[in-house]
Structures are given as C-alpha cells and as structure tokens.
C-alpha cells in the first residue's frame, strides 16, 4: 500500500488506538499505544518518544556517564518518525495496527539509533550501485513457564517444552502443533513470512528461516519475528528465549545473517557464479575478505552480551575463528553456492541475542569495505573441520576484550562513525561492569564451603 492508502486504512479502522515501536541499542522493541487521532496528526510530522531508551540498559538501569542522554539532559522527548511502510496488523492482538519508527537525521539520537544506522549503510550500498537483499534465521529455546514462574524460580532451572536432543523431529513438532503452526501462520499474516521451521538439537529448541527481502525490511522482520514469537508463545503458556546460550550442556542459539548483492535493476545476483569450477565471483571474494578483515574489530555488533561469548565453543555449531568455507557450518562465513536466486553468503557469527539492525549493518558495512578497497581473500578456505584448524585466528574471548578492541579501532569508526562507536562501546563496557560485580551461582557452589 502507498502512503495515502495506509492513512485511509487507519482512518477506517474501528479501533481507538494503534501501536508503534522503536528499537533500542540492545535490540529490544520499545513502544506504546497511542490514539488513532494522535497517530493521524503525526503522519506528516514527528512524534515524541522519551530518549531514556538510549540512556539505560536492557534492565532499565540508567547509565552513569552516557553522553547521548542521561540525568544531565533531563531525559527529554526526542523526535521519532513513524515509517508508514512498516504497517501491519497483529493477528494475535485483535489485528491492532502496528508501525515501527526511528530517529532520523534531524534528531541527536539518529547517530546511535540502530535502524537509522542501517539505513545509512544501505544508502551507501545503493550509492555504490548495489541492491542488498538480506534475511535472518533464528534458533531459540521454549519453556513450560510464565514470566511469574520464572521469577519465582530466580530464572534458574526452567522446564524445557520437550525433553531430549531431537533435531528435525516431526514427532516433537506435531506434539505442539498449535504453537508451531501459530508461529508460521500468524507471523505470515503479520508480514513476517517464515520460509521453514523445525526442531533443532536441544531440549525444546526450534529454528526458523525468514524469507529474504530488502535490507531494512529484513531487519524489521527479524525484530518483529523475535517479538512475535514471544507473544505467541505466551498465549500457549510458553516462554520463548533468544538468549545466546542458556545451558552449559546444550548448543547455543544462532541469529545468522544471509545476504547477497544484486545489480541496480535487481536482475542479477552478483554473488552467483555461472562459470565452471569453484571460482568465486570477484565481488563476493572482496565482500568476504572485507567481513573477515573487519570481524575482530566489530565483534560486539554480532555478540553484544556477556552470554554471547559462551556460545563460541568448539563443536557447538557456532563459529570460533576468522574463517570461511563453502557449505561449511564450522566456519564464521559460509558460502552457499545455490542458484541465480539463492546464491548467498551466510554470516554465522551473530547469536540470536544480537540486535538484527546492528548485525546486518556490520555485515554489509564490512563487506562493502572489502569491495571498496578491493581486498584479496588471503585466508585460505576451510576444508573440513575448522574447529581443528591450528592456524586459525581466534575471535576475542569475551565481551570485555571485544569491546576494548572495538573502542581502539579506527576501522570501526570509519565504518559507523565516531559517535556511534563511542556510545555503543560504552554500553558494552557497562554490560561487562554489571556482570563483573555480581556473585554468580558458579562462585557460590565452588567457593562457599570449600575454599
């Protein structure tokens, strides 16, 4: 629908309110309901949204020293622009209309707004003559819990939806048919088409692939997929978790990014090779080289939490090194040859906990860096098991090390701007500090009596 049709649709909507949301630095969808009248007044101008969402962490604890906003600014409203092209209705909420918004160039928050950042990277790509097409795939765990029961348990020992390691199980999925079909069907009606869904390896874990689309739409779908799955799960007395790794004994959850570049009229997939042999298209070779070159400097954009790094374990289906291979699920980057439509690159580093706008921005910006600088692919392709490669370059081991590297990286600032890097790194350092001063169950069990 065009803008006029959307406005007319909302005018005819018989409900009194609509929902709109913005995405914070952690990839959390923050939003509110507003009256239909207020929404229609905001179509041609901005709408206020408290900028505290960029002044606090994932648990609403205000940062001590954020320059973007804080107690020193009084947390004013900032100017958000509702993007009418994001219009959809929520099937499981009486089809109430929903829109996404972001902070554009006229507002100070635009430099740190994830959706605005991705728009800028997308514009850079199009100005270079390429059309980016992206998609996400997610793994997540499901539990027979409610928010209240989890709080009573202290978030410890949740009960998985199903027991045992049973990947690709039609039996397990049929036992929760209403939930699984609800995800597939209701998300389709929600404008988030799911290409495939199945059980994964682990107790109560699913994986879903979202249909590819334009860059911003792909990130929007990813954000709304995670939010939608959680809401649909709640209606089935299930809690869905996109935490990177919730158990020592089980694999973690990926949030892989699939991507390809097309020519300006979208008639040719530039990552597709029609020639003989295994030669990569030159543009794909540069793109891969750029991602590998930039990866260690921008890792927090793929792995933003303390928990993210628990997923990078040998033999866990997660990448642990700066590496690439064809159809190889042990590497950081997986080239998927495919056909003219489906040939693509999969960036396997991001976990399900990553902010999709930032993981896509990191993927595209670093790939473009390789193209612009004609980087050569000097890292040999992995043949076989990358986990057993003694020559591989390991990724930073924890959030502290990764954030420290990004803080000092001139490359990161070149890709995303000084202001974004300064704020984002500060929030990651804050996350590490909050973790470092907490006493964990592991410490109590190990030291309480014996030491």
Kindly state whether residues 94 and 132 are assigned to the same domain. Answer: no
Verify that 213 and 76 share a domain, yes or no.
Answer: no
| Least confident window among 101-110, 226-235, 330-339, 387-396 | 101-110
Per the domain annotation, does 116 fall within a domain? no
Q: Both 181 and 327 in a single domain?
A: yes
Q: What CATH number has the domain bearing residue 432?
A: 3.30.590.10
Q: How many domains does the chain have?
A: 2
Same domain? For 262 and 174 the reply is yes
The kind and range of the H/E element at 218 are helix 215-234
With b for 16 or more beta-carbon neighbours within 10 A and e for fewer, the 170-182 pattern comes to: eebbeebeebbeb
361 lies in the same domain as 389: yes
Residue 29 resides in a domain: yes
Whether 95 is in a domain gets the answer: yes
Cα torsion 202, 332, 226, 412: sign: positive
Convert 6-42 to b/e letters by CB count within 10 Å (16 or more is b): bbeebeebeeeebbbbbbbbbbbbebeebebeebeeb
In a shared domain, residues 47 and 141? no
Residue 107's pLDDT is what?
73
- Single pTM value for the model: 0.96
3-class DSSP state of 292: helix
136, burial (CB in 10 Å: exposed 0-12, middle 13-18, buried 19+): buried
* CA atoms lying within 13 Å on the CB side of residue 274: 5
CATH number for position 13: 3.10.20.70
Q: Residues 215-224: pLDDT tens digits? A: 999 999 999 9
Residue 113 covered by a domain: no
Whether 362 shows a pLDDT value over 80: the answer reads yes
Longest dimension (CA), the chain: 70
Q: Facing residues of 262 across strands?
A: 131, 269
CA atoms within 13 A on the CB side of 96: 15
On whether both 191 and 283 belong to a single domain, the answer is: yes
In this structure, are 25 and 131 located in the same domain? no
What is the C-alpha separation between 411 and 373, in angstroms, rounded?
A: 13
* pLDDT attached to residue 106: 63
Task: Collect all residues with Cβ–Cβ distance below 8 Å to 161 and sequence separation of at least 6.
Answer: 142, 143, 144, 176, 203, 204, 238
Residue 117 in domain: no
Rounded to whole angstroms, what are the CA distances from 360 to 67, 91, 100, 222?
25, 27, 18, 10
38 and 176 inside one domain = no
CA separation, residue 74 to residues 63, 246, 356 (Å): 13, 37, 29
Show which of 108, 139, 155 is a domain's final residue.
108
Where does a domain end: 78, 108, 138?
Answer: 108
Q: Is 199 helix (H, G, I), strand (E, B) or coil?
A: strand
Where a domain ends, among 75, 108, 141?
Answer: 108
Residues 254 and 211 in one domain: yes
**Residue 202 belongs to some domain of the structure:** yes
**CB-based contacts of 439: which residues, under 8 Å, 6+ apart?**
none
Q: Under a CB-based contact definition with an 8 Å cutoff, are residues 187 and 193 in contact?
A: yes
Q: How many beta carbons lie within 10 A of that of residue 398, not counting itself?
A: 16
What radius of gyration, in Å, describes the C-alpha atoms of the chain? 22
Residue 311: φ, ψ to 5°:
-80, -25
pLDDT at 181 > cutoff 70: yes
Rounded Cα gap, residues 374 and 366, in angstroms: 12
Does any domain span residue 119?
no
The pLDDT of residue 377: 95
Pair (69, 193) in one structural domain? no
- Judge whether 164 lies within some domain: yes
What would the pLDDT profile of 324-357 be if each residue is shown by its tens digit?
999 999 999 999 998 999 999 999 999 999 999 9
Lowest mean pLDDT among 89-98, 102-111, 310-319, 356-365: 102-111
pLDDT, tens only, 119-155:
999 999 999 999 999 999 999 999 999 999 999 998 8
- Residue range(s) defining the domain that contains residue 374: 125-447
75 and 201 in a single domain? The answer is no
CB 26 within 8 Å of CB 399: no
């Amino acid at each position: 629908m065009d803008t006029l049709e959307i406005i007319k649709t909302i005018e005819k909507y018989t409900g009194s309110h609509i929902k709109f949301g913005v995405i914070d630095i952690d990839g959390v969808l923050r939003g509110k309901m507003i009256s239909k009248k207020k929404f229609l007044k905001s179509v041609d101008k901005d709408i206020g949204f408290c900028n505290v969402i960029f002044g606090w962490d994932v648990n609403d604890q205000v940062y001590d020293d954020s320059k973007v906003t804080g107690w020193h600014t009084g947390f004013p409203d900032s100017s958000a622009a509702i993007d009418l092209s994001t219009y959809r209705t929520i099937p499981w909420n009486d089809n109430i209309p929903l829109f996404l918004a972001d902070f554009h160039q006229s507002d100070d928050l635009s430099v740190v707004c994830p959706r605005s950042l991705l728009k800028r990277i997308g514009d850079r790509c199009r100005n270079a003559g390429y059309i980016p097409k992206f998609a996400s795939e997610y793994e997540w765990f499901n539990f027979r819990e409610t928010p209240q029961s989890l709080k009573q348990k202290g978030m410890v020992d949740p009960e998985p939806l199903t027991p045992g390691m049973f990947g690709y199980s039609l039996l397990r999925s049929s036992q929760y048919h209403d939930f699984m079909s609800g995800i597939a069907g209701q998300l389709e009606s929600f404008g988030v088409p799911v290409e495939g869904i199945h059980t994964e390896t682990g107790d109560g874990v699913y994986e879903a692939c979202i249909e590819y689309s334009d860059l911003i739409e792909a990130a929007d779908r990813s954000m709304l997929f995670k939010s939608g799955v959680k809401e649909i799960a709640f209606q089935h007395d299930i809690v869905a978790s996109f935490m990177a790794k919730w158990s020592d004994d089980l694999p973690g959850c990926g949030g892989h990014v699939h991507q390809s570049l097309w020519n300006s009229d979208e008639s040719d997939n530039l990552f597709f090779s029609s020639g003989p042999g295994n030669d990569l298209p030159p543009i794909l070779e540069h793109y891969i080289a750029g991602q590998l070159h930039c990866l260690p400097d921008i890792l927090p954009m793929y792995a933003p939490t303390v928990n993210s790094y628990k997923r990078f374990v040998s033999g866990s289906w997660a990448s642990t090194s700066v590496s690439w291979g064809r159809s190889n699920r042990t590497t950081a980057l997986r080239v998927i040859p495919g056909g003219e439509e489906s040939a693509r690159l999969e960036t396997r580093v991001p976990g399900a906990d990553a902010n999709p706008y930032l993981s896509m921005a990191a993927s595209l910006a670093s790939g473009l860096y390789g193209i612009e600088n004609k980087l050569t692919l000097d890292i040999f392709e992995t043949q076989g098991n990358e986990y057993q490669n003694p020559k591989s370059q390991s990724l930073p081991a924890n959030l502290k090390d990764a954030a420290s590297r990004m803080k000092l990286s001139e490359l990161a600032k070149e890709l995303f701007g000084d202001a974004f890097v300064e704020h984002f790194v500060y929030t990651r350092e804050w996350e590490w500090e909050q973790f470092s001063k907490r006493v964990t169950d592991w410490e109590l069990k190990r030291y309480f009596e014996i030491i």
